[in-house]
Structures are given as C-alpha cells and as structure tokens.
Structure 1
Amino acid sequence: MISVVINTLNEEKNLARDVASVRGLADEIVVVDMESIDNTREVARKLGTKVFTHKKEKYVEAVRNFMISKASGEWILVLDPDEEISPKLAKILKGLPRGGRKDSSGVVVADYYRIPRKNIIFGKWIKHCRWWPDFQIRFFKKGYVSWNEVIHAVPMTQGKGLDLPEKEDLAIIHKNYSSLEEYLAKMNRYTSVQAEELLKNGYVFDWKDLIKKPFREFLGRYFAGQGYKDGVHGLALCFLQSFSELVLYLKIWQKQGFREQEIKRSEIKNEFGSLIKELRWWLRKELTWLKLPKWR
C-alpha cells in the first residue's frame, strides 16, 4: 500500500492539481493542513483525501513526522502542495516497492529513494544555479526516514537508498516562486528562522560576513553552479539568493543589538581583494572568452 502525504496552508488553488497527479499511484492520500483560512480543507475533503489538522508552523519540516504518522501505507510519498509528479514517475514509483531492485533472496534493496526535482522559478525551469537535479528523499518505506524539525533539514535515514536517474520525466515538478513578491515574502520568513537557529548554535555576528557570505553565495551559484547558462533568470536568481544571505546576517546583527564593530581600512582591502581574486578565478574558469584587465 502506498500513501501520499501532502502538507497545506491556504492551498485551495493548488491542491487539486497536486492530488490529480498522484491518483494513479496512491492507495491513500493524506492531507495535513496547518490552519488554513481559505477553503483548503473543504477542497481536500471533496477530493476524497483524509484530512488532518496541525497547528500552523513557520516551515514544513516541523510537520513532516506528524504527516508520516497519519499514513497507513507501508510506502510513503511526501509532496508539497506546489509539487506534482508525471504519469511516468507515478508508474516508476508504483513499481518500485513491488518489483524494484532485489537481492538474491528476493528482498527489495532500497528502503528509500532520492528523486530529482524540477524547479520552475519565475516561469522557467532552472537547470543550473545549483537548482538541478535537487535530489529529494521523498519516497520511502515507513519507519526508514524521519525529519529533524529544523528549516531545510535533510531527512534522517536508515537502511539503503537509491537515486532515480537525473531525467526530466522522472522528476518531481516544483512550481516554485512565481513572483518577486512571493520570493521576498518567503525569504523574509526563512531568514528570520535561520537567524534564530544560528544564534541558538552560538554564532556571534562578524561584519566580514556581510561581505563574504553574499559574495560567495553568488559565486557558488552563478559560476560554480553555472547559473549564467540560465540567462536573465539565472542572473536574477543568483543575485536574489545572494541578497538572502545579506539579509540573514543583517538580521543577526539586529538581534544582537546593532552593536558597532571597528572596521579598519586594511581589513576592507583584504576582504574585497580576496573576493575579487576569487571572482577573477571563476571568470577565467567559466568564461574563457572574456579578456580581463589586470587587478592591482
């Protein structure tokens, strides 16, 4: 038996599409709603799903284990309300528990599967910027996967896992940020939670992180992650994710009372000098056609 579990918060417009994509796969569809103020729960019931309520949380990882506990199936697929699966992926997943890879004794080898995820951001599939293949542990035998209640936490696993191939038609389709307003709203919420986590773990604000963290986030996504291959979408997204890092460390500075720190001119020169060298290295590595003036 396969259970599909979906978390919701004001998702009356998205839920039907999500549920429709798993009809051919699921023996049971469980919706866990976080106190929606729209008609999400009513829509879920009309769609024939089992509906449970959980208190509203700032991020979904805090609800994952509760969702799993409400599933009756031996195998579970976890989806978010802005995700869906293709008919081909549904067919593959349906076959895995009953006829997946087996050892000589006939026992299924994998206890959980990592599935690639296709992120649609601002209307375009982002194939670079470290957004693909974006493997997610979402299909597993009950009892073999659980979540730490930390934002964007990687789930804890036991047993053996396998990766599905990095193919578009085998990916979870994630209709991610559709507007700048949506991105900025989520960024504001996520960075507040991340700031609290860093402070809880003993982080003390250092002004240098206002320079290093955003700059290296951009380099890592635009050059190492080849974000430039995604055109304007890639450039914009890499800058936005760099900006998220800046906001995160500014929020920590705020939470620690906007304490002043001495900044020496020599330190500024060293910080920017080091980062400019990194930038030039990436420009030479990834954009070999670019003629660079000498930096002094």
Structure 2
Amino acid sequence: MWFGVGERNCERFTRSLGRVITVEDRAKISVLINTLNEEKNLPHALRSVKPWADEIIVVDMYSTDRTVEIAQEFGAKVFLHERVVEFEIARKLAIEKASNDWMFFLDADELVPFPLARCLLQIAHEDAVDVVRVPRLNYLIGAAMQYSGWGPNQDKQYRLFRRGKLGVRANMHDHIEVFPGAKVHELSFPSDGAIIHFSYLDFEHFIAKLNRYTNVHALQAAKTGEHPHIVKALFKATRKFLAYYLLRKGYRDGWRGIYLALLMFFYEIATFAKLTQLRLVGDREDIQNMYAKEAERYLSEYVEC
C-alpha cells in the first residue's frame, strides 16, 4: 500500500470532514484522470484524492510504463482509450464510465490539497450549483507562478461538475463546454485553495510539450480552413507576449516570467509556421513522398548512364 493512503489516513480525513458535514450525508464524487506514461506523477495525484473520492476513474492511452499498475494499486477503475492527438477527448469516456452524478477532472501531474478537498465536498453537499471553476497553482521549473497568466487567480479551470451540466469537445484550448442553464460557481485563492499543478520540469520539457501542442493547434486551424499570414502571426505573437509579460504581470515572476512570455510568443510563430507548411506543402508523410520522388529523379541519371 502506498504511504499516505491507508485506512488510518482515510479515517483521519473523514473525522476532519465531519466537522463540516457527516460522512453519511456527503455527496459522492467520481474523480476522472487521463493518463499516458505517468508513473512518476500519478501516485501524488491518487494519494490526494484516495481519502475522499468515492470512485476513481483512470482512462489510460496504452501506457508503456507502470501507470496502469499504479492506478490499480490505488483501487482505480482503469479503462483503455486509443491514443489521440486531442488528448482531452478521452475525458468523454471517463464521464461515461463514472457512477456518480458529481465528477471532478484531475490531471496526472496535479494534486488536490486538503483544504480544497473539503471545499469541493462542501459544495457538492450543498447542491446549490452545477459547475465549479477551481484555481490552479502552476509550478514552472521548480517554483510556483503567481502571475504571468499562470497565477492561481488567473488560471481557473472548470473541474467539479454535475452530470449533464458540462461536456467535452475536441478543441485543445477550448475543450470544456458548460451547457446552457448550468449554475457556475467560481472559487478564489487562497481562501478556497487551489489545484497544485507540477507543470514543467525544465525548458526541454516545456519546449517538447510546446511542440506537441502547436502540432495540434496547427492541425485544427488547417481543418477549419484558416489561412496563414506572416503579419497576422507577428501580431498575435506580439500581443501574446505583451499579455503574459505586462497585462498579466509576468515581470513579477522574475526570469521565469520573461522566458514564459517569450516562449508563448514563439508558440504563435511555431503554430503559424506549421499551418503554412500544412496548407502549402502538406504533412510529414506528404513531404517524405515528395522527397522519394525527388530522389528517384536524381537517381534516374544513373540508369541513363
């Protein structure tokens, strides 16, 4: 058994929770987690929800490490989903498999601190709202970000919700859809707590994810028929830099703030560069086929000799 998730720890949490609501009366919540090779992060996420989650659903995309084994050790229900570019689309399966009306999205590199858990359970128990936006405290290269658009009161996520009040769509940057008529409540940091997000280990990690995200973003733009334009790219990139560094006070995050703003500038440039490639030339396979034809053209000279 993993340290911190035994019966004694669950009982300790339950006794503390009882100061707010009785265990018998509290609403049941299913925690939904997507995974792909998350053996290093997943134990922290699961330890933070095991004491209070009535059900843990893990949707795994055929991990090749110990992710599935770890999830099962924590008593999670594991379901497999094909690997998809739009990673968030797998959340649909998690919603379908959940048994409870209340659900909570959690990423494998996140955890729920004790005060936030109590707040979420209280909200579900009071049953007065349908969807809750939760602050997220993001860590970047060893430190928590307070500004730069990544501060806990700047980055708020739709995470706790009632069945039928929130959906998921295949859009990387706008994947959550709150259904009409849903009552939305927004938490504040530090009074209500925040999800802890251990985001990026180093710049290599950041750039690797940036590369993957810009691939998805460019592909989505190409599918919608968006046309690349260098002036538009420079305008959007500059606007994003100014938004992160000045408007969202990235300068108060020191060197992390300036580099984050610069990388977000590059994000827009990389996205437009990839969109230009897709629209004017094609994807990697198209270019590989083009090179094969070019190679044959050069090699045909040997046949003529």
Q: How high is the TM-score relative to the length of structure 1?
A: 0.81
Alignment pair present for 1:118 and 2:137: yes
CA shift in 2, pair 1:166/1:68, >3 Å: same
Cα-to-partner distance string for 1:12-60 (whole Å, 9 max, x where unaligned): 1111110000122201111110110111111111111111111112232
C-alpha contact 1:119 1:174 (8 A) present in aligned 2: yes
Say which of 273, 276, 281 aligns to 1:250. Answer: 273
Say which of 131, 156, 159 aligns to 1:138. Answer: 159
Say which of 172, 176, 179 aligns to 2:195. Answer: 172
Instruction: Give the whole-Å Cα distance in 2 for the aligned partners of 1:206 and 1:28.
Output: 48
Q: Give the 3-state SS of the residue equivalent to 1:205 in structure 2.
A: coil
What does residue 90 of structure 1 align with?
A: 117
Cα-to-partner distance string for 1:189-217 (whole Å, 9 max, x where unaligned): 11111111112222112121232122111
What does residue 24 of structure 2 align with?
A: none
Q: Percent identity?
A: 38
Instruction: Give the whole-Å Cα distance in 2 for the aligned partners of 1:82 and 1:204.
Output: 35
Aligned pairs for 1:86-235 (under 5 A) are 86-98=113-125, 100=126, 108-132=127-151, 133=153, 134-158=155-179, 159-167=182-190, 170-235=193-258
Deviation of residue 114 (structure 1)?
Answer: 0.5
Instruction: Give the whole-Å Cα distance in 1 for the aligned partners of 2:273 and 2:218.
Output: 9
| C-alpha RMSD of the superposition | 1.6
Q: Give the 3-state SS of the residue equivalent to 1:4 in structure 2.
A: strand
Instruction: Give the whole-Å Cα distance in 1 for the aligned partners of 2:110 and 2:135.
Output: 12
What does residue 48 of structure 1 align with?
A: 75
C-alpha contact 2:35 2:58 (8 A) present in aligned 1: yes
Instruction: Give the whole-Å Cα distance in 1 for the aligned partners of 2:45 and 2:190.
Output: 20
Instruction: Give the whole-Å Cα distance in 1 for the aligned partners of 2:36 and 2:195.
Output: 20
Counterpart amino acid of 2:128? V
What does residue 9 of structure 1 align with?
A: 36
Deviation of residue 154 (structure 1)?
Answer: 4.3
Counterpart amino acid of 2:135? P
Counterpart amino acid of 1:111? D
In structure 2, the gaps of 5 or more residues are: 1-27, 282-305
Say which of 20, 29, 54 aligns to 2:47. Answer: 20
Deviation of residue 152 (structure 1)?
Answer: 2.1
Instruction: Give the whole-Å Cα distance in 1 for the aligned partners of 2:175 and 2:211.
Output: 21
Deviation of residue 69 (structure 1)?
Answer: 0.9
Say which of 26, 29, 49 aligns to 2:56. Answer: 29
Count how many residue pairs are aligned between Structure 1 and Structure 2: 251
In structure 1, the gaps of 5 or more residues are: 101-107, 259-296
Instruction: Give the whole-Å Cα distance in 1 for the aligned partners of 2:245 and 2:227.
Output: 28
Instruction: Give the whole-Å Cα distance in 2 for the aligned partners of 1:9 and 1:160.
Output: 33
Deviation of residue 168 (structure 1)?
Answer: 7.1
C-alpha contact 1:85 1:173 (8 A) present in aligned 2: yes
Counterpart amino acid of 2:120? L
Instruction: Give the whole-Å Cα distance in 2 for the aligned partners of 1:141 and 1:257.
Output: 44
C-alpha contact 1:24 1:90 (8 A) present in aligned 2: no
Counterpart amino acid of 2:199? N
Counterpart amino acid of 1:88? P
Q: Give the 3-state SS of the residue equivalent to 1:162 in structure 2.
A: strand
C-alpha contact 1:118 1:174 (8 A) present in aligned 2: yes
Counterpart amino acid of 1:250? A
Counterpart amino acid of 1:113? V
Counterpart amino acid of 2:177? M
Q: Give the 3-state SS of the residue equivalent to 2:149 in structure 1.
A: coil
Q: Give the 3-state SS of the residue equivalent to 1:208 in structure 2.
A: helix
C-alpha contact 2:222 2:279 (8 A) present in aligned 1: no
Q: Give the 3-state SS of the residue equivalent to 2:213 in structure 1.
A: helix
Q: How high is the TM-score relative to the length of structure 2?
A: 0.79
Deviation beyond 4 Å, 4+ runs, structure 1: none
Instruction: Give the whole-Å Cα distance in 2 for the aligned partners of 1:218 and 1:78.
Output: 29
Is the deviation greater in 132-141 or in 153-162? 153-162
Q: Give the 3-state SS of the residue equivalent to 2:280 in structure 1.
A: coil
